[in-house]
Amino acid sequence: MKKSGIIATMMIAVMMLASVATFAQGDGNGRHRGLKADAGLCNKLPDLTDDQKDQIQALRVEHKKVALENRNQLAVLKAELKVLTTAENADMKGINKKADEIGTLKTKMAKQRLAHHQEVRKLLTEEQRLVFDTKMQHHRGHGKGQFGDCAHGKKGKHHRHGNKACDGKGPR
């Protein structure tokens, strides 16, 4: 095996381990991005039954398993792309193919995320769906925090959204 192949394999292994470690530890802002990141969902929706909570939790666990696999695969593809783009004689055909693979995986991830949201919506009453849809629209584009206190996991007058201090309820 060539020296560059060994280095690429080592980089991929390190990237996979780092992504798993990051997922387990949280995002550095005091919140975990795994199952606890959207555990607040049940607390924000009005009048959820225990059955709804259980069903939402089951959907969340399954979705998070698939999402973790996808994120790990994305990290591998990005590491492979980095190897291709930093090679002495860059192969544009290989670079473009890898970029296409990354795009395909990101599209797949987005579709899975949207399908998960629709599965959750099916479990909700009309009033609950209204709150869910409002919260989802409110937090899109403001980090990955869904239904958290603040989209970025921070509170206080020093943390800002645009020109407004964060009151712990996310951007307005």
Tokens of 11: 């980089």
Report the half-sphere exposure of 53 (CA within 13 A, side-chain side).
12
Q: What is the pLDDT of residue 119?
A: 97
Q: What angle do CA 26, 28, 30 make, to 5 degrees?
A: 75
pLDDT band at 43; cut points 50, 70, 90: confident
Boundaries of every domain in the chain: 3-142
pLDDT greater at residue 49 or residue 2 = 49
Q: CB under 8 Å to 143, separation ≥6 — which residues? A: 151, 152, 153
Q: CB under 8 Å to 55, separation ≥6 — which residues? A: 123
Q: What is the pLDDT of residue 114?
A: 96
Give, as one character, the DSSP assignment of residue 48.
-
- Over residues 113-130, the mean pLDDT reads 96
What's the length of the chain? 172
pLDDT in tens, 64-92: 999 999 999 999 999 999 999 999 999 99
Tokens of 111: 């579709």
pLDDT greater at residue 3 or residue 98 = 98
Q: What is the pLDDT of residue 71?
A: 98
Q: What is the pLDDT of residue 136?
A: 82
Backbone angles phi, psi at 161, to 5 degrees: -120, 110
Tokens of 40: 């607040």
